[in-house]
């Protein structure tokens, strides 16, 4: 008997309907039916009476529902007590300025639920340092984008976004449904300040050294497009800003959304965050 199975049972007992319970559990109905049957074999009693009229709890099922609820409540209490015994915990998360998307939102919600006692400090950073100050020890874990110099860091991919060119809506190329880097070769591009991670810099410049204004945050980059007609770049999937168009660049490698931390840092709060992030970004 495992806790997962008990959670399944509680859901079915609440819904009294396998299909709806499966939906609430984000799974399909057959494995749920199977899990309940295994639970019945495990406890040695029929828990649910299935008939065409519907699903009903047997006396044994009612008893198990009650017990299972208190058991699952106790698991939450357990988490809180362990966290309290571990002492005041803090984790500092670095987030690249344009990475506060839906995945990060879900991550934050799930992480607060899982570790209610942990103080999460957020440090949002501009585009000049994709590691968000990991190496300097300013953050414990970074939610950011690749590619960048990974030496001394452990990097865990969460997603991969195709990349597009940002152009003024009235730009002749803006009507194209896809572009190649060569189409933009004669344009002015944006630049990052000196000292920026060269892999990162080179990636956003399409591998070539470019001429153009220096930017530090996404807004500056977009403004440069609007006012100076430079080429900008951004991951696809976000809504294009007003007056601008984003056209997929077919010969740019996708930009990997990643979690990164200092190699060898065994802080369980970091590992837990990465684990939760993996689930939060999956769907």
Provide the minimum distance between the beta carbon of 157 and a second copy in the complex, in angstroms, as a whole number: 18
DSSP type of residue 87: -
Task: Tell me if residue 90 falls in helix, strand or coil.
Answer: strand
- Token pair in block for residue 195: 């000292």
Closest CA to 57 of 15, 98, 99: 15
**Alpha helix locations (H) across 25-160?**
29-43, 59-86, 102-114
Q: How far apart are CA 177 and CA 165, in angstroms?
A: 11
Q: Is 148 exposed, middle or buried (0-12, 13-18, 19+ CB in 10 A)?
A: buried
- Token couple for 93: 């998360």
Q: Which of 23, 29, 57, 271 binds DNA (CB under 7 A)?
A: 29
The nearest distance, CB 248 to a second copy, in angstroms, is 37
- Return the number of other C-beta atoms located less than 10 Å from residue 186's C-beta: 7
CB atoms within 10 A of CB 109: 12
By a kind-dependent CB cut-off of 5 to 8 A, residue 18 interacts, out of a second copy, DNA, none, with: DNA
CB 191 within 8 A of CB 232: no
14 binds, among DNA, a second copy, none (CB under 5 to 8 A by kind): none
Kindly indicate which of the ranges 32-40, 88-96, 167-175, 183-191 contains the residues binding DNA, using the contact rule CB under 7 A: 32-40
Map residue 147 onto helix, strand or coil. Answer: coil
In whole angstroms, give the CA distance from residue 26 to residue 22.
6
Choose from a second copy, DNA, none: what does 261 bind? Cβ within 5-8 Å by kind: none
Q: Which three-class secondary structure state does DSSP give residue 155?
A: strand
Sheet harboring 163-168: ordered strands across? Answer: 232-235, 163-168, 244-248
Residue 53 binds DNA, judged by CB under 7 A: yes
Residues 21-80 that bind a second copy (CB under 8 A): 40-46, 58-60, 62-64, 67-68, 70-71, 74-75, 77-79
Residue 151 interacting with DNA (CB under 7 A):
no
Indicate the helix (H) or strand (E) that contains 55: strand 54-57
Residues 83-122 that bind a second copy (CB under 8 A): 83-87, 89, 114-115, 118
Stretch of 22-30, 100-108, 139-147, 244-252 contacting DNA, by CB under 7 A: 22-30
Parallel/antiparallel/unpaired status of strands 232-235 and 163-168: antiparallel
Region of 52-60, 140-148, 189-197, 246-254 interacting with DNA (CB under 7 A): 52-60
254 binds DNA (CB under 7 A): no
28 contact, one of a second copy, DNA, none, CB 5-8 Å limit per kind: DNA
Q: How many positions of this chain bind a second copy (CB under 8 A)? A: 43
| Least Cβ distance, residue 242 to DNA (angstroms) | 38
Give the nearer residue to DNA in terms of CB position, either 48 or 218.
Answer: 48
Q: Which does 58 bind (CB under 5 to 8 A by kind): a second copy, DNA, none?
A: a second copy
Show the CA angle centred on residue 114, arms to residues 265 and 125, nearest 5°. Answer: 55
Does 31 sit near DNA (CB under 7 A)? Answer: yes
Q: Which residues make up the interface to DNA (CB under 7 A)?
A: 4, 17-19, 26-31, 33-38, 50-55
Chain contacts with a second copy (rule: CB under 8 A)? 1-4, 40-46, 58-60, 62-64, 67-68, 70-71, 74-75, 77-79, 81-87, 89, 114-115, 118, 266, 268-269, 271-272, 275
């Amino acid at each position: 008997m495992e806790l997962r199975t008990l959670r399944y049972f509680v859901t079915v007992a609440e819904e009294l309907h396998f299909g709806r319970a499966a939906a609430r559990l984000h799974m399909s109905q057959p494995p749920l039916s199977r899990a309940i049957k295994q639970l019945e074999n495990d406890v040695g009693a029929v828990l649910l009476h299935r008939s065409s009229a519907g699903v009903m709890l047997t006396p044994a099922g009612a008893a198990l529902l009650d017990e299972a609820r208190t058991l699952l409540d106790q698991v939450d209490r357990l988490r809180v007590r362990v966290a309290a015994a571990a002492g005041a915990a803090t984790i500092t998360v670095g987030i690249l300025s344009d990475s506060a998307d839906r995945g990060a939102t879900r991550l934050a919600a799930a992480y607060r639920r899982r570790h209610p006692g942990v103080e999460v400090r957020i440090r949002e950073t501009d585009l000049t340092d994709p590691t968000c100050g990991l190496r300097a020890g300013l953050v414990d874990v970074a939610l950011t984008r690749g590619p960048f110099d990974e030496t001394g860091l452990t990097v865990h991919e969460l997603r991969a976004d195709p990349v597009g060119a940002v152009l003024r809506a009235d730009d002749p190329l803006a009507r194209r449904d896809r572009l190649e880097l060569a189409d933009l070769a004669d344009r002015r591009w944006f630049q990052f300040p000196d000292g920026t991670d060269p892999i990162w810099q080179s990636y956003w410049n399409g591998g070539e050294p470019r001429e153009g204004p220096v930017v530090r945050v996404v807004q500056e980059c977009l403004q440069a497009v609007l006012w100076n007609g430079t080429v900008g770049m951004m991951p696809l999937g976000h809504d294009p800003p007003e007056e601008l168009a984003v056209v997929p660049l077919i010969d740019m490698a996708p930009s990997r959304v990643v979690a990164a931390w200092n190699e060898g840092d065994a802080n369980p709060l970091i590992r837990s965050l990465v684990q939760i992030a993996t689930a939060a970004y999956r769907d």
